[in-house]
Amino acid sequence: MKGGMTPPLRLMSIAYCPLSPVYCPLSIIVPLFNERESLPELIGQLYAAMQEDELRKLFVEPFSFEIILVDDGSTDDSCALIGSMIPERPELRLISFQRNFGKTEALSAGFMAATGDYVCTIDADLQDDPFAIKEMIKKVQEGYDLVSGWKKKRKDPLSKTIPSKLFNGVTRLFTGITLHDFNCGLKVYRKEVTRRLELHGDMHRYIPVLARWMGFRIAELPVEHRARKFGVTKYGSSRFFSGLFDFLSVLFITRYLRRPMHFFGMAGLISFLSGFIISLYITLDKILLNQPVSNRPILFLGILLIILGVQLFSTGLLGEMLSTSSAKGSSFAVRETLNLTLSQAKKFGSAD
């Protein structure tokens, strides 16, 4: 603040703004995309779950919570509906995206805004049980950093449960993490975890992998799962491919992000050396035994492997340069925010 003067406060699109910093032990983040029909019931259930003594006694008084609804570019009137609920329910906060950026970005925005010591994520479609939150918090208090729900009896069609089993099996196999269900929408984190997670693509599916890789302690708790009552699933068949590519990037990130040269360098070295040996063999053959060179397919293999080796090597070098100088940041764009605290609003550029 220049000259010790308090600048006039300018708030954009903020209907209601609790200006005093609130101590808020629990932040609940709800990513939502066209979930209008589910919202009233969801908010009602979340508030009911927050009133339970069993939950409240897990916190030192005064207990408070906030529900950060991240509207991921809904085209129904989810936003207007949330806006109309805020006067009666001041714990609701809304961050609304310009367009649909995907659940991962919605979670990132929620994590950015969350002020609670505990951060909970829950899907908006009523498939997760808000009354399970207290059990998950208890588990975190046993000494875990992230407790992930396990949809033991999944109420989804076979077209979802079979790929999901496959996804969980492959992820378990490659990461050695023994969770049954990596992609449950219901999770409770200590805030340190959410501060450290950097998510992009569709990486919300691999949050436990990334958290474990950072050294956080993770656990799993069976939770009730319900069938989708309203609306439709937002994930069609395209998730097979995006899931596969994200899996590869997660493998890469958790193993080689800080040392891409170990990955590309080794592949490059093997390729280059094989090419070199083949070319040397052909050259010696020509010089010593006077064998013709140009009509031998292996010559092309040798050349190809040498070029490939050099390429892989340079990719590794570029990767090293990028990993040391890359700028961090999310890619979502915010259209409007409602009822954020001043410090939250500052993070999203809706107050200055």
Please say whether the beta carbons of 50 and 128 come within 8 A: no
Identify which of 149, 226, 200 has the alpha carbon closest to the alpha carbon of residue 330: 200
- Give the C-alpha separation, 109 to 332, whole Å: 8
- Rank residues 207 and 305 by Cβ distance to ligand UDP and give the closer one: 207
Nearest distance in Å: CB 350, ligand UDP: 20
Spatial separation of the C-alpha atoms in residues 36 and 39, rounded to whole Å:
5
β-bridge partners, 93: 68
Query: Which of residues 172 and 234 has its CB atom nearest to ligand UDP in the complex?
Result: 234
Could you list the residues that contact Mg ion (CB under 5 A)?
125, 127
Q: Which of residues 90-109 bind ligand UDP (CB under 6 A)?
A: 100, 102-103, 106
Look up residue 11 and give its DSSP letter: B
CB distance 163 to 186 below 8 Å: no
- How big, in percent rounded to 5, are the helix, strand and coil portions of the chain? 50, 15, 40
Residue 163 CB, shortest distance to ligand UDP, in Å, is: 10
**Contact criterion met (CB below 8 Å) for 124 and 81:** no
Position among 72, 145, 246, 336 found at the interface with ligand UDP (CB under 6 A): 72
Look at residue 330 and give the partner it binds from Mg ion, ligand UDP, none, a contact being a CB closer than 5 to 8 Å depending on partner kind: none
Task: Report what 103 binds from ligand UDP, Mg ion, none; CB cut-off 5-8 Å by kind.
Answer: ligand UDP
Which one of 196, 234, 296, 335 is in contact with ligand UDP (CB under 6 A)? Answer: 234
Partner touching 66 among ligand UDP, Mg ion, none, CB below 5 to 8 Å by kind: none
Burial 169-180 (b: 16+ CB within 10 A, else e): eebeeebebebe
Q: Which CB atom, from 91 or from 125, has the smaller least distance to Mg ion?
A: 125
Q: Which residue is it, tokens 């008084």?
A: 61
Query: Taking CB within 5 to 8 Å according to partner kind, which of Mg ion, ligand UDP, none is near residue 235?
Result: ligand UDP
Our CB check for Mg ion shows the closer of 59 and 235 to be 235
Q: Is 230 in the site for ligand UDP (CB under 6 A)?
A: no
Is 212 or 225 the residue whose CB approaches ligand UDP more closely?
Answer: 225
Q: How far is the CB of 185 from Mg ion (least distance, A)?
A: 7
Binding track, positions 13-52, relative to ligand UDP; x by CB under 6 A = ------------------xxx-x-----------------
Q: Is 66 in the site for ligand UDP (CB under 6 A)?
A: no
CA dist 227 to 125, 224, 300, 350, Å? 9, 10, 58, 37
- The interface with ligand UDP within residues 142-171 (CB under 6 A) comprises none
DSSP string covering 208-250, please? HHHHHHTT--EEEEEE-B----SS--S--THHHHHHHHHHHHH
- Cα separation, 42 vs 48, in Å, equals 10
Let me know: does 110 contact 29? Beta carbons within 8 Å: yes
The whole-angstrom separation of Cα 213 and Cα 172 is 13
CB of 235 to Mg ion, least distance (A): 8
| Closest separation in Å from C-beta 149 to ligand UDP | 12
Among the listed ranges 11-19, 59-67, 122-130, 307-315, the one in contact with ligand UDP (CB under 6 A) is 122-130
Residue from 25, 67, 30 nearest 48 by CA: 67
Residue numbers at the binding site for ligand UDP (CB under 6 A): 31-33, 35, 72, 100, 102-103, 106, 123-125, 127, 185, 233-235
